[in-house]
Amino acid sequence: MKIKAFLERVPGGMMLIPLFIGAVINTFAPDAAGYFGGFTNGIMKGIVPILAVWFFCIGASINLSSTGVVLKKSGVLVITKLATAWLVAVLATYWMPGGSIEAGFFAGLSVLALVSAMDMTNGGLYASLMTQYGTKEESGAFVLMSLESGPLMTMLILGAAGVATFEIHHLIGAILPFLAGFILGNLDHDLRAFFSKATGVMIPFVGFALGNFIDLTVLADTGVLGVLLGLSVIVITGIPLIYADKWIGGGNGTAGLAASSTAGAAIGNPVAIAALVPEFEPIAKQATALVATAVIVTSLVVPVITALYSKKYGTMAQGGANSVKKSEAQTA
């Protein structure tokens, strides 16, 4: 059976399909984890330690010894993405003073969900799109996008927007696993190679554990709203990213549009933040469901509109492919 091949054909499938399986179990057999206990309970309900190990491995995979062009390109995209998410958080606090909406069509929408969906780019999706429609340097610009991974940036944005107050030790605790991995990975390239392998391996486990936190009835209730959230992520972050890429990054806007997605890792942010700040617990489940839908929507839509944009305004696919092939030939 070609299970792995099937998962890879589905946009975000390596995380989203295990997440859906976990959600089915949690919806129809919510006491299953406690009934079996032991390691089974740990893998179903142990989302916080699983995320901590994942963030450590992500940190270990980052190598900052890149060219200035790559760092400039990735820096522009990351800063623009984070700044846009912060602006959305500030505006949303005026729209929803309590931090969330509890009634009507927008019930379940929260500042936590908005920021979690908008402040992290799907680096793998971006890199694959730039391999087709961009240059080698643009493809390598995902190097700094991993810095968005984890709850730290979301926490900083929420704190800066006045949505929540975080104790300094909570902020340090959120970044310590990532920072420890980053330090070890850059001190020893063998350790980087060793821990980097686990980054992809752990994705299904992260998705399954997150799914066991989701009730599908909540996902059904927020389905349309989640689709709208995903589309709004593309529009709200995509426009600034296009212009930042053109005006500052020296590109044609294609890289900016390719960065307008929601990262799969963002699904874990509401839960991770709620574990640190209990005031977010009541809205964490709905926020997780909304962000999961946004991941699906952006994973499907961003590749299509990036291809159309590149065809009209940017570097054609053949140019991007040739750039990568030429680079590989020179390396060889």
Cα distance between residue 34 and residue 37, in whole Å: 5
Looking at residue 248, what is its pLDDT?
Answer: 94
Looking at residue 11, what is its pLDDT?
Answer: 61
User: Over its length of 332 residues, how does the chain's per-residue pLDDT go in tens digits?
Assistant: 889 888 878 766 777 788 889 989 998 999 999 999 999 999 998 878 888 888 788 788 877 676 566 678 888 999 999 999 999 999 999 889 888 998 888 988 999 999 999 999 987 678 767 877 887 667 666 666 766 767 888 998 998 888 877 778 877 887 788 889 889 998 999 999 999 888 888 888 888 987 887 777 766 767 799 999 999 999 999 999 999 999 998 899 999 999 999 987 798 899 989 988 888 999 998 999 899 889 888 887 888 898 889 988 875 444 444 444 444 444 33
Looking at residue 188, what is its pLDDT?
Answer: 94
Contacts of 101 (CB under 8 A, 6+ apart): 107, 108, 109, 110
Show the domains of the chain with their CATH numbers: 12-36+68-164+209-331 (1.20.1530)
What's the Cα-to-Cα distance from 147 to each of 57, 120, 218, 228, rounded to whole Å? 12, 9, 30, 26
- Its pTM stands at 0.74
Residue from 271, 268, 323, 2 nearest 138 by CA: 323
What letter does residue 20 receive in the DSSP assignment?
H
pLDDT digits (tens, 9 = 90+) for 255-313: 999 999 998 779 889 998 998 888 899 999 899 989 988 988 888 788 889 888 998 88
CA 40 to chain centre: 27
